[in-house]
Amino acid sequence: MATTVVRPRTFTEPAPRTHKAPALRHLGPNWYASVMGTAIVANAGATLPYQLPGQRVACQVLWALSAMALAVLLTARAGHWLHHRDQARAHLLDPAVAPFYGCLAMALLAVGGGTLIVGKDLIGSGAALAVDTVLFTAGTVTGLVMAVVVPYLMVVRHQVEASQATPVWLLPVVSPMVSAALGPLLVPHLPAGQPREALLLACYAMFGVSLLATLLLLPLVFGRLIVNGPLPLALTPALFLVLGPLGQSTTAVNQLADVAPGAIDAPYAHALGAFAVVYGVPVMGFALLWLALAAAMLARAARAGMGFAMTWWALTFPVGTCVTGAAGLARHTGLDAFGWLAAALFLALVTAWVAAAAHTLRGLFTGRLLPATR
């Protein structure tokens, strides 16, 4: 029987490497979803057709909370890359984690848009414009980069099969659609003429980037469900991510139609206004179909014992985009039905946010979500 000789360590040998800030090692890019989910509650609540007493103040509080959470996460993620670079690289090479890098861009954009929508009440219009300009620029650049980098890695580095397709794959390509939806907030602040028209058309270009990329990926996701059956229980809430490009694209065309008359010539402005309804109504119809399917699958997973996971945040931002999309259609069609739909979806959004936020805080306090281990 062979014996193992353990040689004593001498003073010339380096001590085993220990990681600084060990809890940060487990902090992945998926945490930005909590910022997105909080910001969308503020943004959607402030733009609802129906406003209750105190609703604006509640939206201001939620925006401030999302802004603080974004600042904390940006700092923590910087520490993650500084102290745990090996894990950060591993995340990029992991097909299950890499798509979440799209959440960084969407978090920047959602908080930036909220700054102009409700944050200006607290910090002033001038400061809000400056903050949104910075966050919109950073979020748009990051989103466009990730829309290329992550699919590239999936093609040349990740080892994936058709059975692994999930709605998470949509995250990197949805972020340009968020830019398309929130860019119109900045259009009126640009000089009249070419600057406004350039940003308007750039937003439509990003609308096309995201929409066509989504149309490429969505058949893979649905095909995987049909052929391989339901997603694992913890991943079931991710089905709601499909609502993101649907609701956000509806929001985008309506937001762009609002600012088109001041940015582009009349014939095109009228056409873009019509396009908002002609495109938005059918897409919202499909979004409601997918919402019903995803809700049925979620109920099935809950009966099977689904516990809390960070995927619960997928129940917030995508639903919020449907709220803003329905509100935009109510504005352009004048139909009360879309206003009622927006209000009903907003109640579902608030319920989902409360559940996700409460379980996340509990997981942080108990150390289950970010265990302080090497």
Residue 23 confidence (pLDDT):
67
CA dist 236 and 258 (Å) reads: 36
Q: Could you tell me what percent of the chain has a pLDDT over 90?
A: 80
Measure the CA–CA gap between 338 and 6, rounded to whole angstroms. 73
Write the DSSP assignment of 86-149 as a string of letters. Answer: HHHHHHHT-TTTGGGGHHHHHHHHHHHHHIIIIIHHHH-HHHHHHHHHHHHHHHHHHHHHHHHH
pLDDT in tens, 30-46: 999 999 999 999 999 99
pLDDT tens digit string along 176-210?
999 999 999 999 999 999 999 999 999 999 999 99
Specify whether the CB–CB gap between 147 and 209 falls below 8 A: yes
pLDDT band at 16 (very low <50, low <70, confident <90, very high): very low
pLDDT at 297: 97
Single pTM value for the model: 0.91
Give the residue-averaged pLDDT of 335-345.
97
Q: Which residues contact 286 (CB under 8 A, 6 or more apart)?
A: 246
Mean pLDDT of the chain: 91
Q: Is the pLDDT of residue 317 over 60?
A: yes
Retrieve residue 242's tokens: 């499909």
Q: pLDDT-derived band of residue 217, with 50, 70 and 90 as boundaries?
A: very high
Name the band, by pLDDT with cuts 50, 70 and 90, for residue 266.
confident
For residue 273, give every residue at least 6 positions away whose Cβ sits within 8 Å of its Cβ, in sequence order, or none.
257, 260, 261, 332
Cα torsion 289, 322, 260, 193: sign? negative
Q: For position 90, what pLDDT does the model report?
A: 85
The pair of structure tokens assigned to 187 is 């259009």
Confidence of residue 355 (pLDDT cuts 50, 70, 90): very high
Place of tokens 């088109």: 260
Between 1 and 161, residue with greater pLDDT: 161
Determine how many CB atoms are found less than 10 A away from the CB of residue 44.
Answer: 31
Query: Can you tell me which residue has the tokens 């000089």?
Result: 191
Interatomic CA distance for residues 56 and 64, integer angstroms: 12
Residue 164 has pLDDT above 60, yes or no: yes
Render pLDDT for 72-93 as a digit per residue (tens, 0 to 9): 999 999 988 888 888 888 888 8
SS3 97: coil
Rg of the chain taking only CA atoms, in angstroms: 22
What is the arithmetic mean of pLDDT over 243-261? Answer: 97
Tell the residue number behind the tokens 């019903």, with chain if given: 292
